Amino acid sequence: MLERSRTPDSRGFVAGGEELAMPRRRMPSGQRRAQLVSKAKGAFIEGGYRGTTTKDVAEAAGVSEALITKHFGTKEELFRHSMIEPLLEMLNEAVKSPMPTGVGIGERYRGLYDFYYGWAKIVHEHGALLWAVLRETQNFPEIATTIAAMFKRHVQEVAEVLTTSLEREQFRDFDVEIATYLGLGAATIAGMVGDDPEYFVRETVELMFRGMLTPQGRRALDVAVPPLGAKDEEKS
């Protein structure tokens, strides 16, 4: 009597319709590491650093806890790789584009808006990651120091460039650093409230930028960028 073939077909079945377990394909190391980082991020955002264990992450990823240890060593390193490093990289990218200088007043206005709106969108889209990391400053005190230093360096760079390039007849004397910090604070709030921070940021930039200008500067801005609502009034 001939024995039926035990070789599975492309669907994983052998002759007679019997299903044969197929060996699981091993995920490449880089892909596996990315998966663990993703699962760890979700677990830490939900449970916090103290409330999350490497076992929790392993269960979420469907792997052994030993594999977590193999890739990251400790829970602290897992938190750094899945939470702190992505956040700092994202923030570093966000502050790379200062307000343009050496251009007309309208371009400066739009540049300021673009910068603050970009930051507000980051807060809006990635707020859960941001707040989850900031909550852990007691366990990772360097987080707040690093973020503060990053923004301080950026604000000082912007202030230095603007101070030497602003047309004095169009801008009144003001503290550029304080104004930039105020804008970042407002943009952060804009990203936290509502579904779209666009209107909040527009109003903020309108109030801030016009407040920096002399009467001559306001007249020049009105020509380059009509005040908010002016277009609607013209249509009516």
pLDDT digits 0-9 by tens, 18-71: 544 445 567 787 888 999 999 999 999 999 999 999 999 999 999 999 999 999
Compute the distance between CA of residue 227 and CA of residue 17 in angstroms, rounded to an integer. 74
CATH code assigned to 29-79:
1.10.10.60
Compute the distance between CA of residue 204 and CA of residue 183 in angstroms, rounded to an integer. 7
- pLDDT tens by residue, 178-214: 888 898 899 999 998 878 899 999 999 999 999 989 9
pLDDT reading at 101 higher than 90: no
The residues, ordered by sequence, that sit 6+ positions from 95 with a Cβ below 8 Å of its Cβ are 119, 150, 151, 154
- pLDDT tens by residue, 135-186: 998 889 888 898 888 888 888 877 777 666 667 788 888 888 888 889 889 9
Residue 209 CB-density burial (10 A; 0-12 exposed, 13-18 middle, 19+ buried): buried
| Residue 133 contacts residue 143 (beta carbons within 8 Å) | yes
DSSP secondary structure, 153-174, as one string: HHHHHHHHHHHHHS-TTTB---
For 21-49, letters b (16+ CB in 10 Å) and e give eeeeeeeeeeebbeebbebbbebbbeeeb
Compute the distance between CA of residue 169 and CA of residue 217 in angstroms, rounded to an integer. 7
- pLDDT tens by residue, 56-85: 999 999 999 999 999 999 999 999 999 999
User: What are phi and psi for residue 38, nearest 5 degrees?
Assistant: -65, -45
Compute the distance between CA of residue 185 and CA of residue 177 in angstroms, rounded to an integer. 12
